[in-house]
Amino acid sequence: MAFYNVCPKCGANLDPNERCDCEETAEKEKKARDQLLAMEKGTNQLTFNWSLGKAGL
Ligand SMILES: [Zn+2]
């Protein structure tokens, strides 16, 4: 009885209409990392401006 789909990427069980967000999450994390790196380059120091990042800079 397979009333669910299995994500081929991460193996998560999904409802028939559910789309796995593992790829989206990976993409977001990658973007966040790039943003953080760019921020570090700009300020030339390791600062964690999480509130700034979440504001959608
Ligand atoms: Zn997945």
Q: Is the pLDDT of residue 6 over 70?
A: yes
Tally of domains within the chain: 1
Query: How far away, in angstroms, is 27 Cα from ligand 1 center?
Result: 12
The answer as to whether 55 is a domain residue is no
Cβ-proximal residues to 13 (8 Å cutoff; 6+ apart), any chain = 4, 5, 6, 7
Domain-located, residue 9: yes
Amino acid identity for residue 51 in this structure:
S
What is the whole-number distance in angstroms between the Cα of residue 46 and the centre of ligand 1?
32
9: left (phi over 0), alpha (psi -120 to 50) or beta: alpha
- Give the Å distance between the CA of 44 and the centre of ligand 1: 36
**Whole-prediction pTM:** 0.44
Q: Is 35 exposed, middle or buried (0-12, 13-18, 19+ CB in 10 A)?
A: middle
Report if residue 56 sits inside a domain. Answer: no
The reply to whether 38 falls in a domain is yes
User: From ligand 1's centre to the CA of 4, what distance in Å?
Assistant: 13
Residue 2 pLDDT greater than 60, yes or no: no
> What is the 8-class DSSP label of residue 4?
S
Average of per-residue pLDDT across 8-18: 90
Residue 57, domain member (yes or no): no
Segments forming the whole domain that contains residue 13? 5-48
